[in-house]
Amino acid sequence: MRFEILTIFPDLLSSPLGEGILRKALEEGLIEVTFRNLRDFTFDRHNTTDDRPFGGGEGMVMKAEPLALAVEQVKQNAPSSKVILLSPQGETYNQVIARELSLETSLVLVCGRYEGVDERFRERFVDREISLGDYILTGGELGAMVLIDSITRLLPGVLGCSDSAEKDTFSNGLLKHPQYTRPRVFREMEVPEILLSGDHSRIGEFRFAESVKRTVERRAEMIREKKFSSDELKILKKYDLYEKVRTLQQGKARVQG
């Protein structure tokens, strides 16, 4: 996977890439990350990348020319690159989008600033507009880092355990079940006995039920959209979760039994 970051602050994200899984992925050649300074694509002596908006109004707007020239340079070597604009007006980022983007070979992440980017650049060059959520950051750089991190961990060979990404929160439409490790007793709180049984079938059922229970309690809207198999419904009944799930899904014809 190749990531091209278009920004006016190319050094802002160097530290996260030098640690942990991202550093390892870079060293092993599983990803390539290049920062392109938008000021290198300007022609005035001040290297201007923004200007006042036509029609007046608050703030500054990022100019179309530097952004367009930077994208065109990237596409000379990677013409199939998808251009992603980090913007509060984009679709809200989630695990489904992360998985879709992980199937690409090259992504251009455009880091907006100020009041946004010239609309003509967005119309002509942007393939997808993505927001991290309903809040405003000072720029798109942190959003770009979130995309790089979440997409990279989905790439083959990045995580030490091949099943980790498949069993993460959101990957199966549910929050992940509670996790425990040593010691067995911590401040008078014990690990659930079933996790010590060695019966992997029962442990799997227990973890699934706990995952559903946690999702019901914290993210009920996810349950409303979740489709359960017949075997999963049996587990829900066994753990007295079926009625709670059915209540949440009434009218959606998702739970049958």
Q: Residues 115, 129, 149, 232: which is the catalytic one?
A: 115
SS3 11: coil
Is 135 annotated as contributing to ligand binding?
yes
Q: Residues 104, 129, 168, 232: which is the catalytic one?
A: 168
In the residue annotation, 168 being an active-site residue is answered as yes
Is 112 annotated as contributing to ligand binding?
yes
Give the DSSP per-residue string, 27-95.
HTTS-EEEEEEGGGG--STT---EEPPTT--SS-EE-HHHHHHHHHHHHHH-TTPEEEEEEEEEEEP-H
Is 155 annotated as contributing to ligand binding?
no
Q: Residues 39, 128, 153, 219: which is the catalytic one?
A: 153
In the residue annotation, 218 being an active-site residue is answered as no
Torsion of CA 114, 120, 126, 132, to 10 degrees: 30
In the residue annotation, 199 being an active-site residue is answered as no
Is 136 annotated as contributing to ligand binding?
yes
Is 147 annotated as contributing to ligand binding?
no
In the residue annotation, 79 being an active-site residue is answered as no
Q: Residues 88, 122, 141, 210: which is the catalytic one?
A: 88
Give yes or no for a contact between 163 and 105, defined as CB atoms under 8 angstroms apart. Answer: no
Is 198 annotated as contributing to ligand binding?
no
Is 160 annotated as contributing to ligand binding?
no
- What single DSSP character describes residue 176? P
Q: What six digits make up the tokens of 77?
A: 């070597």
Bind-site residues? 112, 132-137
Which residues are marked as active site? 88, 115, 153, 168
Bind-site residues for S-adenosyl-L-methionine? 112, 132-137
